[in-house]
Amino acid sequence: MTDDLPEIGIGTYENNDPVVCEESVETALNLGYRHVDTAEGYENEDAVGEGIAAADVDREDVLVATKVSPDHLTYDAAVEHARESRERLRLDVVDLLYVHWPIRTYAAEDTLAAFEDLRDDGVIRRIGLSNFRVDQLDEALEVLDSTPFAHQVECHPLLQQDELRAHAREHGYTLVAYSPLAKGEVSEIPEVVEVAEKHDATPAQVSLAWLTGKENVVAIPKSESEAHIRENLEARDLELDDEDEAKIDAIDREKRYVDFEEAPWN
């Protein structure tokens, strides 16, 4: 696997049809993606595994990430569920395993001990966290024997996550931006559309270029369509200038697309 996370990975949430899911993962890898994101909760790990197996790519060059659901974060359940994910994905080792949400059965000492043992036993390579607040990140950093590899959170022009990005920079882990296209609604943000028109690019590409232009940030747009999968990867070639970045940085409206009562920030 790669040591750093590639700038653009493929997300798979709600990619629920097994045939479509397998094909989109295979297509993404064949087009040049090297980071695939899933979760046991997405119920598509089998199809994701099939897509990885079918792609014309060396397994060692791909970083495969999955997540343990909030109901399975006791020590024993986390160990069992991580092993099951590895099997469904048809992998020898899961490159990156996240705590999906620090809620319900999550308890820092217990849960993170399971993740460390999974790593030491070779079931996973790296430990990731997702949907943590800063105080929860600080607690995890204290409990873990090494810095987590990544923190995955919602991040896009309407939820810029300054505090979490600063925390990632300060402690030297990667922030993985989920819903980086604001679920497809970036095309309705006038500032993003303006920058896109200036560069003859699409709003999705501008959002991805703006995110990946930030220190320690990578993005995992989800798409089932070959045209979008290709378009999103081509965002790597788009260079925004200081004026473009400042225009998007200055957006002060906020919209969160992934939210529910138990979420840590509520």
Contacts with ligand NAP by CB under 6 A lie at: 11-13, 37, 100, 130-131, 152, 178-184, 202, 204, 220-225, 228, 231-232, 258
- Identify which of residues 21 and 79 has a Cβ nearer to ligand NAP in the complex: 21
Q: How far is the CB of 214 from ligand NAP (least distance, A)?
A: 16
CA angle 199, 8, 51 (to 5 degrees): 130
Output the residue with the shortest Cβ distance to ligand NAP: 11
Who's near 252: CB < 8 A, 6+ residues apart?
Answer: none
Please say if 42 is a catalytic residue. yes
Nearer to ligand NAP, 98 or 114 (CB): 98
Considering beta carbons, is residue 83 or 183 the nearer one to ligand NAP?
Answer: 183
Query: 3-state SS of the chain: helix, strand, coil percent to 5?
Result: 50, 15, 35
Which member of 13, 33, 42, 173 is catalytic?
Answer: 42
**CA distances (Å), origin 195, targets 39, 229, 233:** 33, 21, 18
What is the 8-class DSSP label of residue 249? H
Beta carbon of residue 36, minimum distance to ligand NAP (angstroms, whole number) = 9
- What amino acid occupies position 72? H
Q: Which is nearer to ligand NAP, 216 or 232 (CB)?
A: 232
CB 232 within 8 Å of CB 221: yes
Least Å distance between CB 207 and ligand NAP?
Answer: 8
| Minimum separation from the CB atom of position 209 to ligand NAP (A) | 12
Cα angle, residue 35 at apex, residues 48 and 46 outer, rounded to 5°: 10
Nearer to ligand NAP, 29 or 181 (CB): 181
- 30, 230 Cβ separation under 8 angstroms: no
Q: How far apart are CA 68 and CA 79, in angstroms?
A: 9
The minimum distance between CB 142 and ligand NAP, in angstroms, equals 22
Catalytic positions, written as ranges: 42
